Structure 1
Amino acid sequence: MNVRRRACAASASVVLAVAALAGCGASGTSAAAGPNPPPPPAPAESNPPGDIPDNQVYVVFKPATGGFTVSVPEGWSRTSTGPVTAFTDKLNRIEVSEHAAATAPTTASVTARDVPELAKAVPGFTPGKASEVSRKAGRAVLYTYQGTTRADPVTGKTVRDAFERYVFHHNGRDVVLILSGPVKADNVDPWRTVTDSLRWQ
């Protein structure tokens, strides 16, 4: 009887020792793992060259001759050459001009009269298409095309530009807005803001 008790006691001691060792091994594994690593940072947003910021502020431009106003991005450089006033910033450009016109433009008249002149004036000219569009100031003829900028005087690099040329007509006058920027830039909303801002005076 004493032998059986001693055997049982010995077995119980072995079971307790194994359980203790197992507990120590689990605890050690948990400590080694440590806290979960933080998730990797989100990739930085990359905008194509020439994208106009969504928070761009616009100011009203009124030519000395009067007759209309149009909103242009605030802070852009302004230059005037004859009847053309240009606003530029880095890779983007807006040209505003007006001239007398007895009749309103059509897609046919723009294609026949204006496109040959553009082909001569714009380096690397690639023709696009003419269409009628509606803006807040009324109907306009839009002609889209592409061209290559003149080489940068410092780097010698050129940029392939996309052009949107709008012709509005009112009381015997045409107002022409030419908006341009790099082909891959997404400036649909800014260009819509500018062309929707035209107001007749």
Structure 2
Amino acid sequence: MIPHFRKAIGVLPALAVAACLGTTSLVLALGCLPASAAEKPIRPEKNPPGDIPDTQVFIDYTSPEGFTLKVPEGWARSDRADGASFVDKLDGVVVSVSRANAAPTVDSAKADYVAKLEAAGRAVRVSAVKQVKLPAGAAIRIVYTSNSEPNAVTNRQVRLENERYLYFKDGKLVALELYAPKGADNVDQWQLMSNSFRWK
């Protein structure tokens, strides 16, 4: 399941995503052609906003699904049935939980997860799918760019850079998504958050 469903910029409504993740025939019947086929990547802004300040304080988020991680203090939090999101302007952190029979591999992520991501997202361009070793164990890291959802007032979109981490344990798959305007400098902060993930 793709956790791009919140009203913040850069996300698809849950029902639209669910519909577009069905079979090919269902996708065509609903008119849900992959957004990447219908929409071209937006040119990234020069000197884009979205840098998380070096002075940003991080606090612990504890999920009832059995994991913890650090998230930026003061960001707007929205709880959902499958997880939570934390948003500040054009930056966001999303955690979502689904069930899986086995831990994802690079090959399975490319064949299944990435394909669904490209179908449900806006002009998604995946640049890397790798297995990484983190304090919580092995995880899959997916790096990609995408267009944001149009702003509800201005209809403006921005090009986003995204990192998504897939953590697996005991039939539970947690996806940690980090996004910001392309070109923002959040390397250290994103590394802090992805490394802070722990199973309880």
TM bucket (normalised to shorter chain) is 0.7 to 0.9
Q: 5 Å matches for 1:87-102?
A: 87-102=86-101
Structure 2: runs of 5+ lacking an equivalent? 1-46
Once the two structures are superposed, residues 38-79 of structure 1 have per-residue CA deviations (whole angstroms, 9 ceiling, x without a partner) of xxxxxxxxx6410000011111111223x1111100001111
Q: Which moved more, 1:86-95 or 1:128-137?
A: 128-137
Q: Does 1:136 align with 2:124?
A: no
Q: 5 Å matches for 1:1-201?
A: 48-65=48-65, 67-201=66-200
Cα distance in 2 between the residues matched to 1:99 and 1:150: 24
Length-normalised TM-score, structure 2: 0.73
Cα distance in 1 between the residues matched to 2:109 and 2:82: 19
Length-normalised TM-score, structure 1: 0.73
SS of the residue 1:158 aligns to = coil
Once the two structures are superposed, residues 82-131 of structure 1 have per-residue CA deviations (whole angstroms, 9 ceiling, x without a partner) of 31311100111111012222211100010111111111221121222211
Letter in 1 for 2:63: P
Cα distance in 2 between the residues matched to 1:153 and 1:197: 33
Cα distance in 2 between the residues matched to 1:102 and 1:136: 22
SS of the residue 1:196 aligns to = helix
Structure 1: runs of 5+ lacking an equivalent? 1-46
CA shift, 1:168, in A, is 1.0
Change in CA separation of 1:56 and 1:179 when aligned onto 2, cut-off 3 Å? same
Cα distance in 2 between the residues matched to 1:126 and 1:160: 11
Q: Give the CA RMSD over aligned residues.
A: 1.3
Higher RCO (C-alpha 8 Å, min separation 6): 2
Cα distance in 2 between the residues matched to 1:77 and 1:200: 24
Cα distance in 2 between the residues matched to 1:72 and 1:111: 27
The size of the alignment, in residue pairs, is 154
Letter in 2 for 1:74: E
Bigger Rg, structure 1 or 2: 1
- Identity of paired residues, percent? 39
Aligned to 2:11: none
CA shift, 1:155, in A, is 2.3
Structure 1 moving runs of 4+ over 4 Å: none
Tell me if structure 1 keeps the 8 A contact 2:69–2:193.
yes
Letter in 2 for 1:88: V
CA shift, 1:179, in A, is 0.5
CA shift, 1:162, in A, is 0.7
